[in-house]
Structure 1
Amino acid sequence: MKNKILNIIILGPQGSGKGTQAKILAGKYKLTYIGTGDIFRKLARKKTAIGRQVNHLINDQGSLIPSDFVVKVVSLELMKASKNKGLLFDGYPRNLKQAHALEVVMKKLKREFTHIFYLPISKNITIKRLTLRRTCKKCNRIFVLGVNIDRKQIICQHCGGQIYQRDDDKPKAIANRLEIYQKQTKPIVNYYQKQSLLIRVNGEPPIKTVTKEIIKHLP
C-alpha cells in the first residue's frame, strides 16, 4: 500500500465531523479534496440561475442537490485533478446512483478506492453539534459555539469574513437532512460494507481522537 496512491471516501451523517477529518487528511497526505458541500456553497453565492437554484435548495430547504447535477460537477472536478495525487471525497457519494456513477468515472481514470471510512454518531449528537455550528462565508472555516468562538464573534479571525449560522444548520433543516440521509445515504454504508470496503470509526470522540483512529488504517 505504501507505493499506492490513496483514494479515500469519508462518509457519515451531518455533524459527524467528516468534513473536518477530510480536510485534515487531505492536508496530511497531500490529497485532492473533493467536497461537494464547499463546491455547492460557492455556486450558491453566484448571481446566476444555477446559483439561485442551488441557494434555494441548500439554504431555504436544507435539501440535497439533484443527483444528476452533482454527478456532473464531481466528474468535472475529477477530470481536473492531478493524476499524480490521490483523492479524498468528503461525504460523497450520497446515494447509490452517485456511487455507481463514481465507480464508472474512477474506472475510466484508472483509479480505485483504497479506504472508505464511515463515522457514525447518534441523532442527538448530530442535532447538538449542528445547532452550535457556525461557518465563515468567505473561507468556509467551521466554528463551534463555546469551543472556538463565542456568540458575539461575527468576524473570522483567519480571513476577515462574516461568521454566520447556515440555514441548513437550523432545527427544521437538520430534521429534513437527517430524514434524507436515512433514506438515501445510509444504503451506501451497507453497499460498501457488503464489498468489505467499509472501515467504521466512531465519530463522537474529540477531533484528534478520531483522526488518530483513522490514521491507524492508513500507510
Structure 2
Amino acid sequence: MIVIFGLSAFVSWRLRSKFNEYSQVGLSNGLSGAEIAQKMLNENGIYDVRVVSVEGMLTDHYNPQEKTVNLSADVYYGRSVAAAAVAAHECGHAVQHKVAYGPLQFRSAIVPIVSVASRYLQWVILLGIFMLQTTPLPLTIGVGLFAVTTLFSFITLPVEFDASKRALAWVQNRGIVNKREYGYAKDALWWAAMTYVVAALGSLATLLYYLSILSGRRSD
C-alpha cells in the first residue's frame, strides 16, 4: 500500500509537471483548446455537444448526460500543446459516445451502482471490521461494494486509453500539431493515463487487503 501511495503521488506530480511544461509550448496553428474541441466534434459529425469552460485545474471531462465537453480555463482558452491534447482527449470520449463504444457504455451503465456503493462503502467497511468477531456479513457486503468500485476503476482504463488514441490520431491526421508537438501531446496524455492505472492498482490492492481480513476471520 505504501508503494502504491508513493507511486500515485509521483504520477500526480509528474502529470502536473508535464501539463505545466507543455502549457508553455505554443501551438503552431494558434488554435485554442475550445476551437480544437469544436473542430474535432464537428469533423466527427457531432453537433449536439457543447464545449464549455469550468473552474479548476485538470478538471476537464466529458459529461454524457448533459452532452458537454467541460474544459478547464487553461485548456479552454489556452493555445498550447497541453490544451490541444486535453481538449482532443475529452472530445475522444464524445466520439466514443457517438459510436457506442462498448467499455464506455458498460461504465456508464454501472455509474448509478458505483455512486451508491461509494456513498456507503466507508461506513459499511468500518461496521464490518468492528463486528467481524460477531459476524462476517457486514464486511462481506462491504467487500462486495468495494469490488464494484474496483471493477469500475479497471473498466475506466480502456475508455481512457482509447480516448487518447482517438485524440492523437485526429490531431495528427488533421495537422493540428506538427511532429514535435505530437510527441509532446502523446507524452502528456500518457502521464494522464497513468493516473488511472495507479488508481486501479491502488483499488485492487485495497480490495485484496480487505479480502485477506475477511478470509482470516473465516479461517479462524
TM range (shorter): under 0.3
More strand by share: 1
By relative contact order (CA 8 Å, sep 6+), the higher-ranking structure is 1
Structure number with larger C-alpha Rg: 2
Task: Normalising by structure 2, report the TM-score.
Answer: 0.24
**Structure 1 length normalisation: TM-score?**
0.24
